[in-house]
Chains A and B, each alone.
Chain A
Amino acid sequence: MTGAQHLPDELIQEILLRLPPRTIGRCLAVCKAWCSLVSAPIFHRASADRPAAVAKVTSTWASFHGGAGDGDGLPGSFFHKVMLFDSYRCRWVRGNVHKTPPSPRGIKLSSPRNLATTIVGSWDGVVCIDRGLLPDADRHRQYVLWNPLTRACATVSPPPGRGVIIGAYAHPATMRFHLLHAAC
């Protein structure tokens, strides 16, 4: 026995699951074996099962920055959306996770002025972001699904017609992520 590389995959996975998201993110860069373990769907699912999901959007902000020299007179030439993650109320926190105060961290989404970005919500560790191309955001809409922990990202288009996302889930058996879209 000379190193952690000789440990069975299940054991390494057990160990990595007990780490905070930031450390898990760094573990991707340790070696190929750890990287593929952390990137495996089963790992996403297991981390999302934690008492507080790794990527749960707790609140969002929007802020406008004054148009820096673009001369078109619009007050908000750059649009920043900030989403806050409750990333630390997880099972490595000693004590009652539901009573531990949230300790959020933020991620800034910058978008050019012709793109409306809204955070739809987060389910099972996956964040859903709505991107509409202005001026007709309803007709040029895409949903970006993103797992902040593992950087996995996918873009999907809504079915034709108007509608809204009413929920989403990761299927426990197939691991596929499903968006629930309701026409209105």
Chain B
Amino acid sequence: MTTMAKIDLKEQNPLEALKQFFAGILKLKDVTSILVPQRLSTLNTIMPTLVTDAALLEGVDPLAPAFPMNAARIASRLTRKPMGGKVAAVLRPCEIRAFIELVKLNQAHREEILLISTDCLGAFPNKEYFKFAAQDGGEETLRFYKTMLGGNTHEMEGYPLAPACKACEHPVSENADIQIGLYGIKPGESILIKAQSEAGDEMLKQMNLPETTEPTGRQAAIDTLISQRIRFRDDMFAKTQEAVNSLDKMGAYFSNCVNCYNCRVACPVCYCKECVFVTDVFDHEPSQYLQWAARKGMIKMPTDTLFYHLTRLAHMSTACVGCGQCSNACPNDIPIMEVFRTVAQHTQQAFGYEAGKNLEEKPPLSVFFKDEFQEVVGIS
């Protein structure tokens, strides 16, 4: 479980090394395909691709500051039933944590997937990334890689990281079978390949890479980054709490919400095939609206905006991994992630649970015990 290897970089280019490494994985027996983010030539966008031909890994780019979607949803599609062979999936740590939640919710299976993760350098909000990528074709990932590893972990060339990334205390995956290490190594020098499970160990053994040991300073670099992130996160929690702690403030916070439900569509752990908010339950009779309006003289249309957000918090906050795709998906730029993470922190703590951490921990609302939470019962 401790196999560690390193790949020295040619021309200081980690993407080239990753391409070779992924091609090597694809050649392993048992591995049928690899799910990996690639730069699609057409629009200079980065999207997950499912590749079976090692020659078609030209655009491999898991380090770009682009995070168009949480690919845990894709991994769940690929593994919800037996696929007929193993797929290796290159995911960000938050995608792996969302995937673990989906496995626990029976929406995905762990057996046929090898999870590979690179140390996460973070990403820009989608809209910012489009602007950033429009300026420059292919070199920007390498600039981003050097800037982030050079100690500036908040912004680059005036583009700030997404708030979700700035508040992320999990830049390195604990649950990947293979973790590709970047932090604590001089940028452009080498990358670390670390097996973190038996399956990962098995893979690395077949690949015959030069063995190495954990670079000195790696753990310290990660710890420093995490403590910066936690500072930002706690500050965000305090500010958000203050911003929504009454009906008025909550109304103001969500006042631009048009009930498009994009945040729910983008959410990796909101897995219902049919959300209750698009069913007949919310297809109110016209006379019902009139009745509601008559009661207070006025109602805001569309209705049920706060009802929707509060219900979604009840449904998924214990599974929230804080990936920030809800904020990315909002057409009106409501900082949704901030509210959901702030509340999720409370709900997860209440049940002693951390989303995406451990496959063995049961989701809080799927279990119950006889003598628990006595404090919520009774009126004295």
Co-assembled chains A and B: no
